[in-house]
C-alpha cells in the first residue's frame, strides 16, 4: 500500500491570512484513492509517531466507503486568532457570515486576552463566545481568567493535564472541553475523563479518521464538537462528514478554519452560518511545492509508515 500512497500523493502550499499559532502557511499532502481525496497535513514539527493517525485518516478518506450523512449542512463557529486590533477583528468576523458563535484563542497574556474578549463583545454583542487556551493556563491562572471573562459557552483545554482539569472543574462552573488530552493521548480510549471535561473535541486527522473518532466519542459518552486542524478544504470536508454522521450534534463545529487561508484548493462557503457537507475535488495546479519539498513529504510518509501506520492500515481491511 505504501507504493500506492506515494504514487498518488500531491503536495501543495497554502498561505494563511493571519498568523495562526505562529503558522503563516500550510504545506499539505493530498492523496487520491478510488473513494476520493484524503489529506495528510500534520504540522511540520510533529515527529513520525505523532503523524501516524494523520496518515491513517488520509488513507481512510481516500479508500474507505463514505457513511450516509444524517444532515446536509453543519453549523460552524468562527475562529479568532490572538489579535487585538478592532479592524482586524471585524475583518475576521466577516469571514463567517451568519455564524452565531466565535471561538477566541487565549492563554498567552491575560490582559491582552481580556481586551480581545471586550472588543468582540463590543463589535458583535450577539455572538456566543467559546474560548480555546490550548492547555496554556495553570489551574490558578485559568480560574482567574474564567472569573474575569464573563459569560462563555465553554473553554477548550484550559490546562494541559487531566489532573489540572479536574482541579479546575472543582473551582469553576463553566463547561470545559477536552482536546489535546484526547488527540495527543497514546491511547484515547484509555483516558479517564471523569470529572475533568464536559465536552469532547473530535478532530478527524489527529484521531486517525472518521471511524475511530466515532468510536472514541461513543466510548466516552460526552457531547461532542467536531473541529479542524487548519486543514485545506479536503481535510475540512471529512470533518464535515464526521459531523454529519453524529446523531446528537448540539454545538456549532469548528470547521470554518479554511477561511483563515488566503486561498484554498476548493470552495466550502459559509452560508447562513453553515457549511454544506460535500466531497471535494481539489484544484492543486496553482499551489504545487518544489521537487525538494515533495521529496521531503514523501520521506515523511515513509517514516510515518514505519512508525506504526503500516500496522494500523494493514489491520483496517481497506483495499486500494
> How many H helices and E strands in the chain?
12, 12
Total count of domains within the chain = 2
Judgement on whether residues 98 and 241 belong to the same structural domain of the protein: yes
The set of cell numbers assigned to 171 is: 473551582
Q: Is 146 within 8 Å of 172 (Cβ atoms)? A: yes
Tell me what pLDDT residue 22 has.
Answer: 66
223-278, pLDDT tens digit by residue?
Answer: 999 999 899 999 999 999 999 999 999 999 999 999 999 999 999 999 999 999 99
Judgement on whether residues 84 and 107 belong to the same structural domain of the protein: yes
Tell me what pLDDT residue 20 has.
Answer: 62
Among residues 17, 72, 105, 298, which one is catalytic?
105
Judgement on whether residues 50 and 82 belong to the same structural domain of the protein: no
178-228, pLDDT tens digit by residue?
Answer: 999 999 999 999 999 999 999 999 999 999 999 999 999 999 999 999 999
20-67, pLDDT tens digit by residue?
Answer: 666 788 999 999 999 999 999 999 999 999 999 999 999 999 999 988
Q: Is the pLDDT of residue 293 over 90?
A: yes
Find all residues with CB under 8 Å of 143, minimum gap 6, and list them: 168, 171, 172
Tell me what pLDDT residue 317 has.
Answer: 85
Tell me what pLDDT residue 37 has.
Answer: 98
Among residues 103, 203, 214, 241, which one is catalytic?
203
Secondary-structure breakdown of the chain: helix, strand, coil percentages, each rounded to the nearest 5: 40, 20, 40
- In the numeric block, the cell 481512510 is attached to 60
Judgement on whether residues 249 and 221 belong to the same structural domain of the protein: yes
Tell me what pLDDT residue 281 has.
Answer: 96
Cα gap 285→13, rounded to integer Å:
11
Q: Is 161 within 8 Å of 186 (Cβ atoms)? A: no
Tell me what pLDDT residue 220 has.
Answer: 98
Judgement on whether residues 223 and 265 belong to the same structural domain of the protein: yes
Arithmetic mean of pLDDT, 2-14: 97
Judgement on whether residues 128 and 239 belong to the same structural domain of the protein: yes
Can you give the residue range of the structural domain that contains 296?
Answer: 2-65+283-316
Q: Could you tell me the CATH number of the domain that includes residue 152?
A: 3.20.20.120
Find the radius of gyration of the CA atoms of the chain.
19
Judgement on whether residues 47 and 82 belong to the same structural domain of the protein: no
148 carries an active-site annotation: no
Class of residue 205 by CB neighbours under 10 A (exposed 0-12, middle 13-18, buried 19+): buried
Q: Is 57 within 8 Å of 207 (Cβ atoms)? A: yes
Alpha-helical runs (H) found in the chain: 2-7, 48-63, 86-93, 110-123, 139-149, 162-171, 180-183, 204-207, 210-220, 233-245, 291-304, 310-316
DSSP 66: P
Judgement on whether residues 114 and 237 belong to the same structural domain of the protein: yes
Judgement on whether residues 129 and 187 belong to the same structural domain of the protein: yes
Tell me what pLDDT residue 151 has.
Answer: 97
71-102, pLDDT tens digit by residue?
Answer: 999 999 999 999 999 999 999 999 999 999 99
Q: Could you tell me the CATH number of the domain that includes residue 32?
A: 3.30.390.10
DSSP track, 1-47: -HHHHHHTEEEEEEEEEEEETTEEEEEEEEEEETTEEEEE---TT--
pTM: 0.95
Q: Is 144 within 8 Å of 151 (Cβ atoms)? A: no
146-155, pLDDT tens digit by residue?
Answer: 999 999 999 9
Cα gap 158→292, rounded to integer Å:
39
285 carries an active-site annotation: no
- Using DSSP, state whether 75 is helix, strand or coil: strand
Tell me what pLDDT residue 23 has.
Answer: 75
Judgement on whether residues 13 and 31 belong to the same structural domain of the protein: yes
Judgement on whether residues 164 and 269 belong to the same structural domain of the protein: yes
Dihedral, CA of residue 13, residue 91, residue 158 and residue 23, to nearest 10: 20
Judgement on whether residues 296 and 168 belong to the same structural domain of the protein: no
Amino acid at each position: 500500500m505504501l507504493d500506492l500512497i506515494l504514487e498518488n500523493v500531491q503536495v501543495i502550499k497554502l498561505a494563511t491570512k493571519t498568523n495562526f499559532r505562529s503558522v503563516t502557511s500550510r504545506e499539505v499532502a493530498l492523496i487520491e484513492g478510488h473513494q476520493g481525496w484524503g489529506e495528510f497535513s500534520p504540522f511540520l514539527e510533529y515527529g513520525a509517531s505523532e503523524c501516524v493517525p494523520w496518515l491513517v485518516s488520509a488513507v481512510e478518506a481516500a479508500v474507505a466507503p463514505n457513511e450516509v450523512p444524517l444532515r446536509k449542512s453543519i453549523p460552524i463557529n468562527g475562529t479568532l486568532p490572538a489579535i487585538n486590533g478592532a479592524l482586524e477583528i471585524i475583518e475576521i468576523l466577516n469571514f463567517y457570515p451568519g455564524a452565531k458563535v466565535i471561538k477566541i484563542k487565549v492563554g498567552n497574556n491575560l490582559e491582552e486576552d481580556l481586551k480581545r474578549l471586550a472588543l468582540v463583545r463590543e463589535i458583535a454583542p450577539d455572538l456566543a463566545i467559546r474560548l480555546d487556551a490550548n492547555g496554556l493556563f495553570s489551574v490558578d491562572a485559568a480560574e482567574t481568567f474564567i472569573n474575569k471573562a464573563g459569560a462563555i459557552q465553554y473553554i477548550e483545554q484550559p490546562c494541559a493535564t487531566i489532573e489540572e482539569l479536574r482541579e479546575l472543574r472543582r473551582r469553576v462552573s463553566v463547561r470545559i472541553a477536552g482536546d489535546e488530552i484526547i488527540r495527543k493521548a497514546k491511547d484515547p480510549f484509555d483516558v479517564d475523563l471523569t470529572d475533568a471535561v464536559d465536552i469532547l473535541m473530535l478532530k478527524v486527522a489527529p484521531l486517525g479518521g472518521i471511524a475511530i473518532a466515532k468510536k472514541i466519542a461513543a466510548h466516552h459518552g460526552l457531547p461532542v464538537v467536531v473541529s479542524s486542524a487548519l486543514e485545506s478544504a479536503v481535510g475540512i470536508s471529512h470533518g464535515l462528514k464526521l459531523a454529519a454522521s453524529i446523531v446528537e450534534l448540539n454545538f456549532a463545529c469548528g470547521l470554518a478554519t479554511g477561511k483563515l487561508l488566503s486561498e484554498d484548493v476548493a470552495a466550502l462557503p459559509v452560508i447562513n452560518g453553515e457549511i454544506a457537507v460535500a466531497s471535494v475535488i481539489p484544484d492543486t495546479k496553482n499551489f504545487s511545492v518544489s521537487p525538494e519539498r515533495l521529496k521531503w513529504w514523501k520521506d515523511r510518509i515513509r517514516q510515518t509508515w514505519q512508525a506504526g501506520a503500516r500496522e494500523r492500515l494493514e489491520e483496517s481491511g481497506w483495499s486500494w
